[in-house]
Homo-oligomer: A and B are copies of this chain.
Amino acid sequence: MVRKNGRDSRALRPVAITRNFTKYAEGAVLVEFGDTRVICTASVEESVPSFLRGRGTGWVTAEYSMLPRATHTRSSREASKGKQSGRTLEIQRLIGRSLRAVTDLAALGERSVYLDCDVLQADGGTRTASITGAYVALADALATLKQRGLLERIPLREAVAAVSVGIVGGESLLDLDYDEDSSAEVDMNFVMTSSQRFVEVQGTAEVEPFTLEQMDAMRSLAMDGIQCLFDLQREALKG
């Protein structure tokens, strides 16, 4: 089996992280995993949801959406249908949990950060690209708060990034694109922190249940791939 552009089974697609992609948000990142392109903005609001009010602790949450023509055929717009799909809600809950896992919410104080992940173009792995880009947007937004004197230090414990892996034609592949994903037997997403620990693991047998050995092979691919993403995030944040 040959991957597009001769990519190795253990290789990520070209990843690009562009900061300050738009001008208003406290953090605004365009993240690209090959042809998958997602705008991740981090917006700070000086209030928290009602269930947290008065506790002195902050909140980080995410919203996810795809532009109608981010995909091969046009999807109808969730705003005009009047509700978000189960897939959308599931993804935005995943992004939110992933980012909260590395944030020191007590140190953030009673304020919220909204991470909006809007997919301009979808070619597989939009949720993992979103998490990876949202981390950079969050870091930028928190740095902005520090510069404004609202925080003494950046309340992030470590970095977080995510990647997809799958089994296609019996072979484990890192970072599936849309065509690979469509024909995958199994699809897993790993979210990890820079201390090599797991925040979220999600695996789904699309066609055929998978064995322990297959799970371990995919996990191993993912752990290596995520290390590269941490390097790219660090690089981007230096710039």
Point out residues on A near B: beta carbons under 8 Å: 22-25, 28, 35, 37, 39, 41, 43, 45, 63, 65, 67-74, 77-80, 82-84, 86-90, 92-93, 97, 101, 114, 116, 118, 120-121, 188, 192-193, 195-205, 209-212, 215, 219
Contact = CB atoms under 8 A, between A and B. Distances in A.
Contacts of A24: 69-72, 121
A67 B116 contact: yes
Given A82-B83, A86-B90, A114-B74, A69 B22 contact: yes
Query: Copies per complex?
Result: 6
20 contacts: A22-B121, A23-B35, A24-B69, A24-B70, A28-B69, A39-B120, A41-B67, A65-B77, A68-B114, A69-B116, A86-B90, A87-B93, A90-B90, A101-B209, A193-B209, A198-B205, A199-B205, A200-B203, A201-B201, A201-B202
- Count chain B CB atoms within 10 A of each CB in A35, A88, A203 and give the residue with the most: A203
Nearest to A45: B74
Given A41-B67, A90-B89, A84 B79 contact: yes
Contacts of A74: 25, 43, 45, 114, 116
Contacts of A72: 24
Nearest to A118: B67
A199 B39 CA distance: 32
B86 A83 contact: no
A54 to B, nearest CB: 17
A210 B191 CA distance: 11
B41 A68 contact: yes
Given A197-B211, A201-B215, A68 B43 contact: yes
